[in-house]
Chain A
């Protein structure tokens, strides 16, 4: 496509194909007409699909660049930087040398928690995660991660959007996925974030920035609340009202002054009507059988928050939501390291393990990628009497499920766990790899804005093939 046809900044783009379509009476089969063609197709540089004769809506399922390994993602975000030294990163020498002066300054702090080897892979996990430990043979650890900024707000934003630059807000990774792949279930939002951080960039972390607004994440509270999705009138009344409203809309179909979005508007009401039934139902995790609720550890109040989120994540993902992010905040232990770790691991261990088991039992783990991790890690050295400071030079995350090796570990840090030495992987490489798993080429998934092509990985990023199954 020539540059000439590419319009910037959300300006209504070429209507050519849209008008032709319309005259060919493509019917109501496509949603969200406004941004549709130009924003959804023409500006997108996705492989095969732009020549597709039946044009779907911007959120319709799209064909990717590569064979798809993972259809959906569930990201378990440990907001605030979990201490890897006390959970998933065992370093024999650190355990031995506690109290000594560390290589980068500071006093080494051994973990107080007992580590053991688990599974056939013999992976070390601390006693804080006994339930997740049972699943280690499903996990794929990446241990050589590093990022650019040791401040939470910037690092959280970078993890979610690829760039910490404040001057230009970038689209979040979920919105890139939605833009590239659409969603499988048109009755549901394609990208959901539950309990996102209210600070550290807040909405930026699930926003669509310069991508059209329908690619942004839908925020849901940790009790499953979404504004306006619950019908405010009995269904019969609302249907009668809707019939009257749709009658007004249909009157315009033959009007030569009709807006080209008209069919999209009509369709959007029918969809909304269906969503009112579907979304609250899916978010109502209390409908699960008691043994499931117990397995996840669902309860009211903040202690049960993550369990509720895990369960909602499974329900949403199962229903076809492309990207679900859930979060447990409060990992920033400069003080109260041990009390904080105990509280947080207690809240996250059982539900995380239950999610993995549940996905597997339902046969969903083969097509769902689970990601668990923080914006960066913490140092092997002590901070104050009971704390650890930030570390961006080496930290782990783990992945599980679709497309990644099982019981596998890639990359490593030095003997104390401070700096990544092998298999170094920048946040951007994580993004490139994530896109590849979803079937997208991070160099080809571009969007033109303000005079240039943007990517989730900007000008960097390489796919870490070593971890792909």
Chain B
């Protein structure tokens, strides 16, 4: 080669990987390569840094999608294609751009490089575009000596056993083999199990556990009056057969699947079709879809052979599991966007299905579990070969529909009208391009600040026009337009491949390629390797649900146990690794897992079996001795009281006031949102909160856009929605008390029930008390409670009348932006047929916000809170007020909040 006339001293790190070819080690670095790198460092890198980095580098941005501070950035190029083709300067866009010959492609835009610089760049590209690699840390791919030992010893990775149910002294206590495992340990530790729960407690417990709802007074009576030997068994079967079962247990899975209807993270964009996945999950639990099939569909539904069109659609919707996570669409660099999403998928699949924290191995070998970085990237190759179809693209700093990509959706069923004609499409695209370029010209120019006739700056008008054209185009290209059905999910990429280890997890820093595969922490005998012609998700799914996978069935059996006993046999339900909890009952867990497999992976059968055990049916009474021996009740000597979750509290309040609509609503209030950023104080957020407030459907159907949690769910530790959460926290804080004392939802429903009681003149106060205690607490009041309640009702009425006679308080000066909308629930209102999913007529929360002008740069705009609309609930008379006060107190009581 005639360039590099001066041989220079080699001053590079010894351990060097050249990424201009397949990674090789130091020994293979030739003198010639070293010279090329030297040339790069001396001439090219400084040139790029001082002329291009402002718009195309890691510390700034990737204008046009291009980065020039990274060889892969140049190779993969920006929106216009590869910037350089090593060895071929003539085919390299970069060379064309710096020549300033094409009017539309001049770089740097305002200042042409000098001839020497242009020549240096050509020389560098012709010589192969050498680029020194990162120093690879020597421990990057070493094997951790602890790993072999851990693999052999850690309980969770050992093959499942089929333990013999132990013998017990008190065999009369045993109703199922499960009871033998429990009783045997209790006997060993000399713990006496609590006496059986009363029938009233039992029917309340099992109904909440299976439906997330209270039993109606009639259902309680039916059970109490059924003296047949199998009364409880019949009750369990009835509950399992109801659609309410899937709504409750589907919600448990939605927690695990970190379900949400928006991207969350930095720019919160709606994912309007997410609800199809929600319905799919609920239906799967109701249909008792075998769990292995359920997992297979969610991980690889698109690759399965479908029995029917309906089946095919369902399989595609199921892959929403991989698509509905948090996404940083504002990520500047496509490669990071991709690898972050891959990581999100790996984390979700591994923690949800096998209770393993694989994501720790993204940057370094796992510190606790035997998961080397190699294994992580073996999985990453599978997801890197998977095409994420969430309708989104990444872009730094966008507005309007900039992030929406209608080609990245999965159409299920086309709308009423056929697709647009080629001409229509062509025209719309052209108009978008024109509007875009018109806007971009005005964006950074003085002209843009000039005012247009309507008084707005010209750039704002141009941006609005651009938005409108984008919407017009989307209306043509969006498969969901005109009533079409769309799923968010995944498909295989057209080109599938293994991927490289990323040094320290940095997306651009490539290490050696790793063949696609699965974890090596444990063996799954009989699992098939990846089909190299596909992404490998199908084999991954099969590996997960392989009968010999030690974790999958243990993890789900543990989740089932957790939802019936309040806590798992393994407390850390999403982490079975070394840092997780060790079960007191590993044999019982294996027993459950084995039975689960033998029973066709049926969730309902497992739930049924556990619900019918004696262990489940004991009382919740604690004794001082047992508390000392086993304070956490790990051995199940009683049924630990459990706090109702956020959904149960809301649904029960609605059910008690007769307002709950048990029918499934169609879609979601966020289902027709445009894919445009949602600030959490803007009109869309308010629209969602209003939809939640007005909804009488079960909580699982409320809109769940991330960051805009329905106000009725927020106080009671609603799930975080960001990552896999198999176990919610349960806090006790004053905001919960404030909610139960003052929130319009609680007050409105209390008053509705109060009005119903008062309006029924055939009832006296005693029967009203009976009714209200039964509705809310599932029991009748004791005599002393009756006396106290009666005294309360009388005194409250007197105080109410005295207070009502006082002049009305004026709202304080600084609540100027708080609008108060009074609602007086009348008796006719309360008696009208409940359970219609229409907004309540009494709520006339008028919208006063002006229509906002679309912002030019959304990041510059001062986003003002929408005016707060406060609903004031006012009883119409003293009697209603007193009864409402009593109802609300019962909703607020600890007895209501905790299930025995």
Contact = CB atoms under 8 A, between A and B. Distances in A.
Interface in B847-893: 856-865, 868, 872-873, 885-886, 888-890, 892-893
Nearest to B332: A151
A152 B677 CA distance: 14
Nearest to B108: A105
A245 interface: yes
Contact of A227 (B368, B631, B680, B711): B711
B730 interface: yes
A387 B856 CA distance: 14
A167 B357 CA distance: 13
Interface residues of A, number: 132
B572 to A, nearest CB: 4
B898 interface: yes
B594 interface: no
A451 B577 contact: yes
A259 B711 CA distance: 25
B24 interface: no
A212 interface: yes
A342 interface: no
Nearest to B718: A213
B725 interface: yes
Interface string A1-39: 001101111111111101110010000000111110001
A335 B443 contact: yes
A166 B731 contact: no
A155 B166 CA distance: 58
B632 A3 contact: no
A154 interface: yes
Contact of A199 (B445, B789, B858): B858
Contacts of A210: 720
B650 to A, nearest CB: 15
B327 interface: yes
Interface in B598-624: 619-624
A15 to B, nearest CB: 5
B360 A152 contact: no
Contacts of B111: 101
A104 B865 contact: no
B734 A271 contact: yes
A146 to B, nearest CB: 9
B860 A249 contact: no
A152 to B, nearest CB: 5
A8 B579 contact: yes
B678 to A, nearest CB: 8
Interface stretch (A281-289, A400-408, A460-468): A281-289
Contacts of B582: 4
A259 B267 CA distance: 41
B519 to A, nearest CB: 14
B284 to A, nearest CB: 24
Given A8-B572, A151-B396, A153-B265, A237 B796 contact: yes
Contacts of B151: none
B717 A237 contact: no
Contacts of A23: 624, 627
Given A32-B733, A269-B892, A330-B861, A14 B898 contact: no
B899 to A, nearest CB: 9
A423 interface: no
Interface stretch (A125-133, A216-224, A439-447): A216-224
Contacts of B344: 166-167
A3 B154 CA distance: 14
B351 A450 contact: yes
Contacts of A221: 817, 865, 868
Max chain B Cβ within 10 angstroms of own Cβ: one of A151, A156, A221, A300:
A151
Interface stretch (A44-52, A60-68, A108-116, A272-280): A272-280
Contact of A150 (B60, B711, B742): B60
Nearest to A33: B732
Interface stretch (B216-224, B495-503, B808-816): B808-816
Contacts of A272: 734-735, 737-738, 741
B897 interface: yes
Given A12-B567, A33-B732, A151-B266, A302 B864 contact: yes
Max chain A Cβ within 10 angstroms of own Cβ: one of B733, B812, B815:
B733
Contacts of A451: 357, 360, 368-369, 575, 577, 579-580
Given A80-B859, A334-B860, A384 B443 contact: yes
B266 A153 contact: yes
Contacts of A275: 734, 738
Contacts of B325: 167
Contacts of B264: 166, 169, 204
Interface stretch (B11-19, B51-59, B291-299, B380-388): B51-59
Interface string A342-360: 0000000000000000000
Interface in A195-240: 195, 197-204, 209-210, 212-214, 218, 221-225, 227-234, 236-238, 240
B894 interface: yes
B729 A212 contact: yes
Contacts of A218: 735
A104 to B, nearest CB: 5
B741 A151 contact: no
A91 B108 CA distance: 27
Contact of A452 (B265, B367, B747, B803): B367
Contacts of B331: 151, 154, 166
Contacts of B397: 151-152
Given A241-B885, A256-B621, A386-B449, A248 B893 contact: yes
B800 interface: yes
Contacts of A308: 814
Contacts of A35: 729-732
Contacts of A227: 711, 743
B36 interface: no
A268 B643 contact: no
Given A167-B326, A248-B893, A265-B894, A152 B859 contact: yes
Contact of A213 (B49, B443, B717): B717
B894 A252 contact: yes
B65 to A, nearest CB: 14
B343 A167 contact: yes
A336 B267 contact: no
Interface in B283-308: none
B261 to A, nearest CB: 15
Interface string B353-372: 00001011000000111000
Contacts of A386: 446, 449
A105 B51 contact: yes
Contacts of A203: 680, 707
A16 B632 contact: yes
Max chain A Cβ within 10 angstroms of own Cβ: one of B723, B803, B859, B868:
B859
A260 B621 CA distance: 12
Contacts of B571: 7-8, 11-13
A53 interface: no
Contacts of A103: 50
22 contacts: A6-B579, A10-B730, A14-B631, A103-B50, A104-B50, A151-B332, A153-B265, A153-B328, A164-B266, A166-B340, A195-B865, A198-B680, A204-B265, A213-B717, A232-B741, A234-B799, A240-B885, A248-B893, A308-B814, A330-B862, A451-B357, A452-B367
Interface of A: 3-4, 6-16, 18-20, 23, 31-35, 39, 80, 101, 103-106, 149-154, 156-157, 164-169, 195, 197-204, 209-210, 212-214, 218, 221-225, 227-234, 236-238, 240-242, 244-245, 247-249, 251-252, 256-262, 264-266, 268-269, 271-273, 275-276, 280, 283-286, 300, 302, 308, 329-336, 340, 381, 383-387, 389-390, 392-393, 448, 450-452
Given A105-B54, A240-B796, A386-B449, 7 more contacts: A152-B859, A153-B267, A223-B818, A224-B814, A257-B622, A333-B860, A334-B857
List the 8 closest A-B pairs by CB distance, nearest first: A153-B266, A384-B444, A10-B729, A272-B737, A166-B328, A198-B679, A256-B621, A451-B357
